[in-house]
Amino acid sequence: MDLFDAVAKRHSYRGAFEKKSIPREHLQKIVQAGIRAPSGCNAQTTTFVIVDDPGKLATIAGIVDRPVVREAQAMIVCVVDHKPAYQDKSFAAEDCAAATENMLLAVTAMGYAAVWLDGVLRNEDKAGRIAELLGVPRHLEVRILLPLGIPKEGLAQKEKKPFADRAWFNRYGNG
């Protein structure tokens, strides 16, 4: 799929997935897209745990009780290191976001679907519980989950505001 087609088709999928496993080679290719993302000062602060074990997926679904998590055939767990990359500044959030969007585009291009989950992890120590389950060192943070699979439903990207309402040349609002 062309990059611009993937950008136009990528959407947050919260529907049901087919009960078909995702080949590890595909999961590796998706995560490789995340690894290739830019990172502040090339610090590469985002790492990934690819979960395809049904037992671990079920345990995560017990922690993050969402239909899309219960249905996921695999999950990519994005882990960040908040270490400073430049002076005392960490770019972990930005690094993780860039990696996540690259992976979401790869997911779309390969015919899979996913949703970016992070807010739900910030309650009831869900991120910490998942980190413990997956053996993530304590100084790192589980930041984003990407539950994924082959979508049962064909959904489209939500409508976006037109270019003229969100982008201008040389001056904000061209006013």
CATH number at residue 87: 3.40.109.10
Q: Residue 157 above 70 pLDDT?
A: no
Residue 55 φ/ψ, nearest 5 degrees: -65, -45
Q: Which domain holds residue 92?
A: 3-154
Neighbours of 53 (CB within 10 A): 11
pLDDT tens digits along 104-156? 999 999 999 999 999 999 999 999 999 999 999 999 999 999 999 999 887 67
Classify residue 161: in a domain, yes or no: no
The beta strands (E) that lie in 22-88 are given as 46-51, 74-80
Is 173 a domain residue?
no
Per residue in 63-117, pLDDT (tens digit) is 999 999 999 999 999 999 999 999 999 999 999 999 999 999 999 999 999 999 9
Query: How much is the pLDDT for 175?
Result: 63
Q: How deeply is 138 buried, as exposed, middle or buried, from its count of CB atoms within 10 A (0-12, 13-18, 19+)? A: exposed
pLDDT in the model for residue 106:
95
**Model confidence at 57, in pLDDT bands (50, 70, 90)?**
very high
Radius of gyration (C-alpha) of the chain in whole angstroms? 17
What local confidence, expressed as pLDDT, does residue 163 receive? 83
Query: How many domains does the chain fold into?
Result: 1
Query: How large is the average pLDDT for residues 13-29?
Result: 93
